[in-house]
Amino acid sequence: MTLEEAVAYLKEEDLATMAVGTYEVDGDFYFMIQEYETKEAADCRLETHKNYTDIQWIISGEEAIDTVNVAGLTVEEAYDADRDVAFWQEPAEMCHMVLSSGSYAILPPSIAHKPGMRAGSQASPVKKCVGKVRVH
């Protein structure tokens, strides 16, 4: 499934009524429904994935996500192939965005991202879909 097809698929689903869990769509696309409280920025980590592009879709609530191109970053925790994740030291500057209900960000392997952060001064509940589209 292409990235465009995956976004179209998610737009057709009633994500708000889906239970927390992982949903396999095909060999190239799956998604997870998550519910959690946003955290302080210091408690979140900057990550990348090698095999999947993320679609981080806020179903309800609001969270901040920082992003930066991975080029030039320093590894904090080496790539773990089993979990498809590497963690990075934070640079001095990153792009900061706030996603609210119905909005989403597409995060390819070249973009390090730090999701799950508080959008304001208080933690808030979030229900989110994280789509994973295999990179070919």
Helix (H) or strand (E) holding 55: strand 52-60
Instruction: Note the pLDDT tens digit of each residue in 41-93.
Output: 999 999 999 999 999 999 999 999 999 999 999 999 999 999 999 999 999 99
Give the number of C-alpha atoms closer than 13 A to the C-alpha of residue 106, restricted to the C-beta side. 9
Confidence tier at 32 by pLDDT (50, 70, 90)? very high
Q: Where are the domains of the chain?
A: 1-35, 38-122
pTM for this entry = 0.94
Rounded Cα distance, 65 and 84, in Å: 19
Rounded Cα distance, 23 and 111, in Å: 24
- Look at residue 78 in the predicted model and tell me its pLDDT: 97
Instruction: Note the pLDDT tens digit of each residue in 99-121.
Output: 999 999 999 999 999 999 999 89
- Look at residue 126 in the predicted model and tell me its pLDDT: 98
Confidence tier at 35 by pLDDT (50, 70, 90)? very high
- Look at residue 94 in the predicted model and tell me its pLDDT: 97
- Look at residue 100 in the predicted model and tell me its pLDDT: 96
36: nearest Cα among 11, 63, 76, 13: 63
Of the options 2.60.120.370, 3.40.50.150, 3.60.40.10, 3.30.2130.10, the CATH number for the domain spanning 38-122: 2.60.120.370
Mean pLDDT over each residue of the chain, to the nearest integer: 97
